[in-house]
Structure 1
Amino acid sequence: MVPGGRAREVERGARDVLDPVHFDYLAGGAGDERTLTGNEDAFARRRLVPRVLRGPGPVDLSTDLPGVRLAAPVVVAPTAFHRLAHRDGEAATAAGVAAAGGLLTVSTMATTAVEGIAATGAALWFQLYVQPDRAFTAALVARAEAAGCRALVLTVDSPVRGRHGRDERHGFTELPPGVVCENLRAADGRVRDLVVDPDLGWDAVAWLRGRTTLPVLVKGVLHPADARLAVEHGVDGIVVSNHGGRQLDGAVSTLDALPAVVEAVAGRVPVLLDGGVRSGVDALVALALGADAVMLGRPVLWGLALGGADGVRAVLEDLTDELAHAMALVGAHRPADLTPDLVTVP
């Protein structure tokens, strides 16, 4: 089955075909899931105030981001364990992204090695956890660069792992047999455990820059003071993210955090929004409030579960088509034409 239409329909379809334990891992959030639901609720609160008689002409969604020019300002977010959703895992996701002309952010916790994902021809970024074993982290960076990834996305919101109530209720602590995190496979063939570094500081950006020529974005910024620090430390982009509601329950929604971060950055580097985007209209709202692009996470997994590569392609094409249609209706020709005055909270 190849999905189409609304994100909720695709999610319901994925729930029907996935193991309930695996669905809950992919769908769930931290604690009581207030932040998980809050990300979507923040979009639901917004309304559009379209302009008329502006003759926008054909809509042009093309967007420049670190290391890549995209046909639309939509990036597939890093998510773990795609083989829980489909037997071909991240290889199928990447094939679908390539067919849609998009960009995939490969997770450190992917169940397909970055080299295999790159073989699909998809444009890639690589999401990185800096681990206490810096030599192993540096080797992983080298693998991502050699595979052709165009930027590194440093996750900075995980000094400890989030607590997921659904997983605890299911007792879900291990991946199925034969499913492992291939990017954590060491030179000796052993798959290492991910160890997050609780002492990670801003010096990690300089350390990372000393080991790669790739652009470096930081993902997990919510506070405007951290956005200013990120720019001061030389990052090439910022992703406003609360880890999809999977880390700190009760954290501010990403859409609510976005305007202050955009103001703090003041156009010096691109700002992306991750969390709660479920439609092209949602993407339009985020762009109008200052994001240069949005990241799309769970809907891609639901498309993968239902239709493999074709499902991923369909989800991305549906969303970008809706974005272009909505832009025409608010009187915008390019993403740069979208401004905060087009969005209100009744």
Structure 2
Amino acid sequence: MHAPVTGPVFAIYYPVFAAIGVPANLVAIVILSRGRCGLSRCITRYLVSMAVTDLLVVITAVILNRIRGIYFPITFLTTTPGCSASAVLTYAARDSSVWLTVAFTFDRFVAICCQKLKTKYCTEKTAAVVIGTVCVLSCLKNVPCYFIYEPLYIMNNVPWFCSMKLIFYTSSGWAAFDWLDRILTPCVPFVLILLLNALTVRHILAANRARRRLRAHSNGENQSDPEMESRRKSIVLLLSISGSFILLWMTYVINLFYVRFTNGNYFSGSNFNDPRFILQESGYMLQLFSCCTNTCIYAGTQSKFREELKNAVKYPVNLIWKFIKYLE
């Protein structure tokens, strides 16, 4: 697990990020769970699960790892079992978040491009099975991470801190596991999301051209088309979520390939004068930031979500106002 870095930038950024990310994801979970945003139950399940896993990433990677490492360097999580368990939870939450984005993208691809499969696949039950499978596999995949660490030193029979075991660098089995981990997250999701989005956009453009020609021939061009409007809203939501994922993970992926193909090393500590350190930490910061952008995307693309968000903001204000009026 990447060790927390120190410095005023990180000491300010991560607390501010957590202060935004936790309530943003909680608000998204509550609003979407109410089912009043005009979205199907299938889409709602995916969006709620993505918000839950994003919240878990903020808690594990940002609060328990970064903020704890900066402000509370010596805690239970600093012991070897503690930081090993924290690494497993962080990686499991990260993988679940990434692959649920892929699952959502595939669901929308099926719904838009595969009409025969849509009625069987794009259901609430299937979404629940896919979400559960993704989360279980993500947890199982990262269980071995618990066993790659050893104590940095032992004091009063208590193992402290986490250091990679030497066998992790010399064993072909661990080398294969490390490569598989990097390929599965985020390289394969990157390729799948780009491919599925390209196929979905191509299908929608072709369908829209054919539908315009048909409607122009039969009814005239100026009449509104509810079907095309529905497709437009669906593709805007899809491209906003997956596009945000691609952009915010891009720096992390570039640094990953740089380290892998130049036989370089990841930085431990802080060196703001080294471009490689800047690239690495920028990648981590943007990657984590992707866990609190979906709420903004929902608010920007879904009018009913904005309305529910306004009602949520007004509710405590109205309660306080009624209480003040009561006291008067």
Normalised TM-score (structure 2):
0.27
The higher radius of gyration belongs to 2
Which one has more relative contact order, counting CA pairs under 8 Å at least 6 apart? 1
Structure having the higher helix fraction is 2
Normalised TM-score (structure 1):
0.26
